[in-house]
Structure 1
Amino acid sequence: MYKILANTIFLGKDVHFLPECHSTNDTALNLVRTGQAREGSIIICNHQTKGKGQRGNSWSSQAGKNLTFSLILRPDFMDISEQFYLNMAVSNSIKQMLQNYVPNIEVKWPNDLIVPGFGKIGGILIENTFSGKEWEFAVVGIGLNINQIDFHSASASSIKSITGSEIALEELFRLLITQIEQGYIQLKKGKWKEIKSEYLMNLYRKEIWANYSTDGEQFSGKIVGISADGRLEMELENTEIAVFGLKEISFL
């Protein structure tokens, strides 16, 4: 059973533990819609049956083996156009903590966590609610493969698959929430340049020529940066810089 966290300022002071649920993000969004949400609330589920990933993909997780949870934040100190900085801050925080268990973790744009040579060990899905042009709440869904070793996808992996070691989920959860809170406070303090610099330093395939596809056509490109609104900046073979949104490019 996951308890209220004593070592944080505001994250995890209201923890909702669910033995089973469809999606922790859906549960959190329902709290937002019904006026029951407060910043720092966490919904964590032992067995998430219909988890959501980027591009409408599903996130499959074995019961009791991994960490699947959602945070409710209220980043109303930011403009809507700046929302990708929240993605970067959360990605950085999770990477910082998990690298204590697995070295060489990289962030695959926009916010998947991978270990090259092994596969994807985690993902983040942020769903926002707005009131007019004002940011109301951000629901940060996080799925991390910890102790699961059997996967339907060949591209998936876990900490245990890589290290052979079983991880205590509650202890890792506590450490992760503490790290994420520190990253969020850094965001509140306006350390945006530092956040983006760290994100780019750990970005998968940055400055490496690789193959991609867009509109059904393959091409070779080199990731060179991230735009202010979170789109991928890529140098093409003709030296032009192209910019891609989430659904406009696929990694091959």
Structure 2
Amino acid sequence: MTIIKLNAIDSTNSFLKDLVSKQIVDDYTVVVTKNQTHGRGQMGSVWNSEAGKNLMFSVFKDLSSYNVTYPFYISMAVSLAILDTLKALNIPGLSIKWPNDILSANQKICGILIENVIKHRMNSTIIGVGLNVNQLNFAGLSKASSLKSITGVHYNLDEILNNIIENIKCYAKMLQDEEFDVVKNNYESYLFRKNKPSTFKNIEGELFSGFIKGVTKYGKILVMLEDEVLKKFDLKEITLLY
């Protein structure tokens, strides 16, 4: 496993994408930085982090020997790999807020950005992870927290990184062996607010109620509406309100 350590970079995903475009990159090449100046999240959101206190990295995964017809399985597998790492650290109340935010109780501690490389078929993927580890101050971000805020423990970033990569390898093997149902069922078992009455906002800004029942293989969320209709929503179409 090749690990590229940087003191500062705009985005580890952008750095790794640029590297892949210029040269052959080994499977599980990792780019990790102490300071990410323009970290990116889902839907163009920005990931802000105190320098040197959190884990910000991207992983290149070769998928040329895989039969992953539905890219969302990669997102599910990575979410579970991080969840397993945090469970081993005894982080309480873990769940996955669709599509792939990791929560402790109802506070966000980790975000994931996956960018797939498609050449005729899905060829590889770049997995970007931002995990709040030792940062304690989240001014203006009431829904953010960190491992140290939750447990009071100061963590070794390299140790957590290595454990996450090992768990990603385990779930990648499951995808390679086409154990898709196992991955999907496991992911759905950790869905935040699954089977609980929840409030959502649609693209027009209107609020409505429903129950999260699961996800489709395409990554859409399944919500049971008040009239007992099961409806699928894409990421751009719906926001789950806390």
TM-score higher than 0.5: yes
What is aligned with 2:14? 26
Deviation at 1:81, TM superposition (A): 4.2
TM-score by length of 2: 0.95
Whether the 8 Å contact between 2:67 and 2:176 is mirrored in structure 1 is no
What whole-Å deviation, never above 9, does each CA across 1:148-205 have from its counterpart, x for those lacking one? 0111311110000011111111111111111111111111111111111110111101
Superposition pairs of residues 43-192 of structure 1, within 5 angstroms? 43-78=31-66, 81-101=69-89, 102-117=91-106, 119-132=107-120, 134-152=121-139, 153-192=141-180
5+ residue gaps in structure 1? Answer: 1-12
TM-score by length of 1: 0.91
- After superposition, the CA RMSD in angstroms is 1.3
- Quick one: structure 1 residues 86 and 237, their matched pair in 2 at CA, closer, same or farther if it must change by over 3 Å? same
Q: Residue 203 of structure 1: which of 176, 188, 191 is its match?
A: 191
**Which residue is 1:3 aligned to?**
none
Output one character per residue of 1:117-150: Cα deviation in whole Å (capped at 9) or x when no partner. Answer: 4x10001100112113x11220000110000011
**3-state SS in 2 of match to 1:155:** coil
The amino acid across from 1:210 in the alignment is S
Give the distance between the partners of 2:153 and 2:68, measured in 1 at CA.
41
C-alpha distance after superposition, 1:219-241 (max 9, x if no partner) = 00111111121100100001111
Rounded to whole Å, the distance in 2 between the matches of 1:238 and 1:246 is: 22
* Inter-partner Cα distance in structure 1 for 2:40 and 2:51: 16
What letter matches 2:96 in structure 1? Answer: V
Shift of 1:53: 0.5
- Identical pairs, percent: 35
Distance in 1 (CA, whole Å) between partners of 2:161 and 2:128 is 14
- Pairwise CA distance, 1:17: 0.6
Figure out how many residues of one structure are paired with residues of the other and give that number. 238
Matching residue of 1:235: 224
